[in-house]
């Protein structure tokens, strides 16, 4: 039997095959994601506003007058047209509240974006192929587990060049870091009927005053005193509205995407803290054991 005071140093273990009962990965850190093409179909968004406020509304009503006149008193007669100038009526309306507004519905049929980059959270259950390990440690290796025996060796020290061990049980293997050589590639994926939750937004206020100018059709008032005297007063109204600011408050935004598809998503990953428990290795080749 092996003496308990000796240490077995295995310089190199070549594992041909084995089984692992459980694999635990502490953390997968994905790198920046690159998406070749992102398509969104049937986008709709609702902008809901509880109320709108027009602040400090002033209206300047302008009336422009002109006069067409004539007189005919026998020995004298004349006619003409004159500009009589204009009159302004200042009307201070004050704040105007619009209590309820209809929702503003935006329908966008199709949106396509290419070369999109994004970041995501942890990922698991992927086949990552080959890669580089660092910081591998195995604990509680039992050699052999099935009928392998070294007996009658009472050596203080010995060196064995090559030995084949048929079956070995390792309790725990820990890999500190694993960087797979390949990226995670998702060829394409589709998501349907995405309902975006209602989100509230802050008040929206216009930066600059709002000016509205309008002109009405001229109207005339005709007066006639027989064939002696007559005139027509023409009036052209203008309205100049000035709103200091426009405020939308109690805003809510909700939306939905009928269908979203992504194509050729490539994600580089770095996996940290892999634990493998109860590993049953079928064949280990040790090419140099020092006792």
Piece in contact with other proteins (CB under 8 A), picked from 46-54, 56-64, 130-138, 267-275? 56-64
The nearest distance, CB 208 to other proteins, in angstroms, is 8
The nearest distance, CB 199 to other proteins, in angstroms, is 34
Distance in angstroms (rounded) separating the CA atoms of residues 103 and 168: 70
Q: Closest CB to other proteins among 3 and 77?
A: 77
Q: Closest CB to other proteins among 11 and 225?
A: 225
Binding other proteins (rule: CB under 8 A), the pick from 209, 218, 250, 282 is 209
Distance in angstroms (rounded) separating the CA atoms of residues 56 and 49: 20
Q: Closest CB to other proteins among 90 and 129?
A: 90
**How many CA atoms does the CB half-sphere of 101 hold within 13 Å?**
19
Evaluate the CA torsion angle 215, 221, 227, 228 in order and state its sign: negative
Pattern 85-114, binding to other proteins, x per CB under 8 A?
Answer: x-xxxx------------------------
The nearest distance, CB 90 to other proteins, in angstroms, is 4
The nearest distance, CB 212 to other proteins, in angstroms, is 8
Q: List residues near other proteins by CB under 8 A.
A: 58, 60, 62, 75-76, 82, 84-85, 87-90, 208-209, 211, 213, 215, 238, 240, 242
């Amino acid at each position: 039997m092996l003496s308990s005071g000796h240490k077995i140093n295995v310089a190199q273990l070549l594992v041909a095959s084995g089984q692992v009962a459980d694999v635990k990965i502490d953390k997968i850190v994905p790198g920046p994601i690159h998406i070749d093409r992102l398509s969104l179909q049937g986008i709709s968004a609702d902008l809901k506003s509880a109320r709108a406020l027009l602040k400090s509304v002033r209206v300047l009503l302008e009336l422009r007058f002109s006069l067409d006149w004539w007189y005919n008193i026998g020995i004298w007669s004349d006619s003409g047209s004159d500009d009589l100038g204009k009159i302004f009526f200042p009307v201070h309306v004050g704040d105007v509240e619009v209590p309820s507004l209809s929702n503003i519905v935006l329908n966008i049929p199709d949106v396509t974006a290419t070369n999109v980059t994004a970041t995501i959270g942890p990922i698991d259950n992927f086949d990552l192929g080959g890669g580089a390990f660092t910081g591998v440690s195995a604990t509680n290796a039992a050699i052999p587990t099935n009928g392998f025996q070294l007996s009658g060796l009472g050596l203080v020290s010995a060196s064995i060049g090559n030995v084949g061990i048929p079956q070995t049980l390792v309790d725990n293997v820990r890999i500190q870091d694993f960087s797979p050589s390949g990226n995670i590639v998702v060829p394409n994926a589709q998501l349907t009927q995405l309902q975006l939750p209602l989100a509230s937004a802050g008040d929206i206020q216009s930066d600059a005053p709002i000016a509205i100018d309008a002109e009405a059709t001229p109207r005339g008032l005709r007066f006639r005193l027989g064939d002696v005297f007559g005139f027509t007063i023409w009036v052209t109204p203008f309205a100049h509205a000035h709103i200091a600011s426009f405020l939308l408050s109690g805003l809510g935004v909700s939306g939905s995407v009928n269908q979203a598809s992504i194509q050729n998503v490539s994600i580089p990953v770095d996996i940290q803290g892999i634990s493998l428990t109860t590993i049953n290795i079928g064949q280990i080749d040790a090419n140099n054991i020092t006792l």
